[in-house]
Each structure stands twice: as structure tokens, then as C-alpha cells.
Amino acid sequence: MPFLLIFILVPMIELAVLIKVGSHIGVLWTMALIFLTAVIGVGLLRVQGLATLMRASQRMEEGQIPARELAEGFLLAMAGAMLLTPGFVTDALGFALLVPGVRGALAGSVMNMLKVRAAGSMQGQFRHYSNGRGEREVHPHRDPEIHHNPHRPDVIDGDYKRED
């Protein structure tokens, strides 16, 4: 339901702002401004996106998970969609997402939201045990941190063999 409201309210607000601006500066200047904000926004998005991609690559080379960079990449994609959508309100929101401080704060919120959802959907952790042949086995029933939940189905135990 909130998404439906967004898809109804945002175009209505954009239309009202476009009409108001167009009545003050004229239709051609309004269209030129919309085009100019899209071009500038795409250029800034390209620079910010490449910088985020380079940081993600560097973190992966260091053996770390680029979680913040992925969240920022998602926000940059949203910024790009907003900047390409004709209108001044969506352009303002898109440009706000291009500001590193704003994007960093929102990326932290996105990561916290995803952590809460992921933690709520996980039943427990698995422990890896070596079977003596250089292979790793997962035994959820040996793990004392996993508790049986009668409302969830049982875990089906299986074996695998890695063949390179």
C-alpha cells in the first residue's frame, strides 16, 4: 500500500511543481532545465558509481565483504532512476543521494534493515567439521547453538563432495 501511494503522490507533486515552474519561467526553459538536471545527474552518477565500484573491488581484494559499497550501489541506482525521471522533486532527491554523506547515512540504515531481516530469517549457524580427508562437512545437529523449533520444518542433512 505505501508503494501505491508513492506511485500516485509523486507524479501528482511533480506535475504541480512542473506547472508552477513552467508558469514562472516558461515551458521551453522548464524543459531545458529538466534536460540539464538529467545530464548533470548522469555525469555525477557515473563518477560516484565508479568510485563506489573501485572501493568494492579494493575491499574484495583485501578479503572483506563490500557490504557498505553494495548498499551505496543500490542507493546510487535509486539516484539514477530519480535523476532520469522528469521532474524537480525527484531530481532533488536523486541529487541528495549523490552526496556521499547523505548516501553513507542511508547506506548504514539500509544495512541495518537488511541485517535485522537476515537475522530474523536465519534459524541458526552451522559449524563446519573436517572429515579427515580434507573435505569439510556441515553438521547442524552437532551444533549446540541450533535449537529445534516445532514451527519450522526440520533441516534435511546431506553430504557433498567438492570436485575441482
Closest CA to 112 of 71, 64, 66: 71
Inside any domain, residue 53: yes
Note the pLDDT tens digit of each residue in 16-45.
Answer: 999 999 999 999 999 999 999 999 999 999
Q: Is 140 part of any domain?
A: no
Backbone angles phi, psi at 125, to 5 degrees: -105, 150
Q: How does the average pLDDT of the chain come out, rounded?
A: 80
Distance of CA 18 to the CA centre of its chain: 29
Phi, psi for 136 (deg, rounded to 5): -105, 140
Residue 90 lies inside a defined structural domain of this protein: yes
Query: Is 115 inside a domain boundary?
Result: yes
- 85 CB burial (10 A radius; 0-12, 13-18, 19+): middle
Does 128 map to a domain? no
Domain extent for 67: 2-121
User: Is 6 domain-assigned?
Assistant: yes
Residue 149, CA atoms < 13 Å, CB-side half-sphere: 10
Q: pLDDT of 89-98, one tens digit each?
A: 999 999 999 9
CA distance 120 to 153: 16
Phi/psi-derived region of residue 63, left when phi > 0, alpha when psi is between -120 and 50, beta in every other case: left
How many structural domains does the chain have? Answer: 1
The model's pTM? 0.65
**Domain membership flag for residue 155:** no
The model's pLDDT over 103-150, given as tens digits with 9 standing for 90+, comes to: 988 988 888 877 766 555 554 444 444 445 554 545 444 544 455 555
Residue 76 within a domain:
yes
SS3 of 66, please?
A: coil
